[in-house]
Homo-oligomer: A and B are copies of this chain.
Amino acid sequence: MRKLTSTNYYNQTFLEEKCTLNELINLLSKRWLTEVMFSIEEGNNRFSTLKEDLKHISDNILADRLKLLEQHKLIIRNDNFREVPSRVEYTLSETGSKLSELLDGLCHFSETEMEFPE
């Protein structure tokens, strides 16, 4: 239910069309999203273990981020378990692994070169 006639929306799409980097950054800037990726990479592959690992995340945000990551094919969702209570497992895709590597580079940069004023 996003308002499609606002300048806010117009400018965002303008920038996303100018360069997909903006689209990627918008995705990455969703709170917890990269942490969810990294946590899956480390082996926390279920909703409940992710929730436990990322202490302060709330259910609906975790669900949303998992959905976003899946839609962008950065993770793979596997629900062929036919168990009750239901069981779903997530793994990183190849694209997800590549992105994770790139982010490691950015992380190193931010730790060694950036200055963040208080």
Spell out A's residues near B (CB within 8 Å). 7, 10-12, 14-15, 18-26, 28-29, 31-32, 34-35, 56-57, 71-73, 95, 98-99, 102-103, 105-107, 109-111, 113-117
Contacts and interface: CB of A to CB of B under 8 A. Distances in A.
The number of times this chain is found in the oligomer is 2
> By CB atoms of chain B within 10 A, which of A28, A98, A109, A114 has the most?
A114
A81 B33 CA distance: 45
Contacts of A28: 25, 29
Nearest to A115: B73
A99 B103 CA distance: 12
A11 to B, nearest CB: 5
Contact of A25 (B19, B22, B34, B73): B34
